[in-house]
Amino acid sequence: MALTVAFIGTGKKREKGSLMGYGMAYTHADAYSELDDVELVAAADVVEENVQAFAEQYDIEATFSDYQKMLAEIEPQAVSICTWPHLHEPMVINCARAGVELIYCEKPMADTIGGARRMLEICDEEGVALNFNHQRRYGAPFRLAKEMLDDGVIGDLLRMEWGGPNIYDYGSHNFDMAQYFNDEAWPEWVMAQIDYHTEDFWFGAHNENATTAAIAYENGVYGLVATGDAEGLVGCHNRLVGTMGMIEIGATYEEAGVLRYRTWDSGKWEDVDTAGEGLHGNVYINRAIADAVESWRNGERSMMDGHNAIKGTEAIFACWESSRIRERVEIPMEAEDNPLQEMVEAGQLQPAPAEEAESF
């Protein structure tokens, strides 16, 4: 029997996505449409024209403005949640309670660490497979880097470094990649400082302007993070430093290919062929959704399972907490909130209003 899939938060198809709307539901629907034995049965969005345009494009008969009504009437087996981060927690929990068996939710997990923990706990209680769209795990540069690491090309992993615009919305991917490279080892503690002088909302959530952070993992590996204004400190999307050499993905030096490595012995950079795949690509989402569905069918958990995602998520919120309390923070931390948002609300951070949302 075909797997029945419904969507919450269809968004609007745009030529170019922005931090105010990317229409991720379309990339999810494209991915399901490539699979055998999958039926797109329903969609919900509070904006009528969004849900109608989506339903028309994918030939979906049932549309709703109230997603809870959709869950009750349609009883889909799988749901893709493509709303902004502050809605992920209640939507995941309501899907799990309504009997949905497979949830594919956009990252970041939630807007508070307590929320992320609750989502996971309730999905476990209900036996739901909860996945987060950390699709880079399915991209050639990342997979090849992991293969080289596992093959011992750079010896034993000592340190991972990563950069990007921020640690939360974009950073959710990078913290997740660190889990992937480091065999899903738990982060043990973080020590971080952030700067937030200009408001930066990504999909409705505050994101800091710069972070520097040190992370210690339970297996002795360290993480070094530099984001936003401090990104140049790392100068690389992901760097893996081992006992015998290093691997770089997306180094910002002009001559660097998307994936390269060098060993201490040779001392020379070697580019690795990624068959044209780079840091981004919707094809990664196709593979990720195919894997989530197949894993669920086989009674297994995909790599995007919430139990993997929670580890990077704990580290992200712990970085903000470290900045709030000016101390090293042990994971899991006691705080359950969103320290960045709380610091803004308490007036401890007073970012100036931003002029306009950035497009990408």
Return residues touching ligand NAD (CB under 6 A).
8-11, 21-24, 44-47, 50, 67, 82-85, 87, 106-107, 133, 135, 169, 203
Q: In the complex with ligand NAD, which residue's Cβ is closer, 164 or 245?
A: 164
Distance CA(92)–CA(95), nearest Å, equals 5
Least distance CB 150 / ligand NAD (angstroms): 25
Q: What are phi and psi of 176, to 5 degrees?
A: -70, -40
Least distance CB 105 / ligand NAD (angstroms): 8
Nearest Cα neighbor of 25 from 39, 45, 41 is 45
Tell me the residue number closest to ligand NAD, measured at CB: 11
Measured in whole angstroms, how far is the alpha carbon of residue 172 from the centre of its chain? 4
Strand order in the sheet with 78-81: 62-64, 38-44, 3-8, 78-81, 102-105, 129-132
Q: In the complex with ligand NAD, which residue's Cβ is closer, 46 or 256?
A: 46
Q: In the complex with ligand NAD, which residue's Cβ is closer, 79 or 157?
A: 79
Alpha helices (runs of H) in 59-160, residue ranges in sequence order: 67-74, 85-97, 113-126, 140-150
54's CB contacts (< 8 A; 6+ apart) are 7, 10, 11, 13, 25, 26, 29, 43, 45, 60
Q: In the complex with ligand NAD, which residue's Cβ is closer, 80 or 322?
A: 80
Least distance CB 293 / ligand NAD (angstroms): 17
Least distance CB 301 / ligand NAD (angstroms): 19
Least distance CB 26 / ligand NAD (angstroms): 8
Peptide bond just before 108 cis, omega within 30 deg: yes
Distance CA(141)–CA(143), nearest Å, equals 6
Q: Are residues 153 and 286 in contact, defined by beta-carbon separation less than 8 angstroms?
A: no
Least distance CB 342 / ligand NAD (angstroms): 20
Least distance CB 65 / ligand NAD (angstroms): 7
Q: What are phi and psi of 270, to 5 degrees?
A: -125, 125
Q: Hey, how many other C-beta atoms are within 10 angstroms of the C-beta on 39?
A: 15
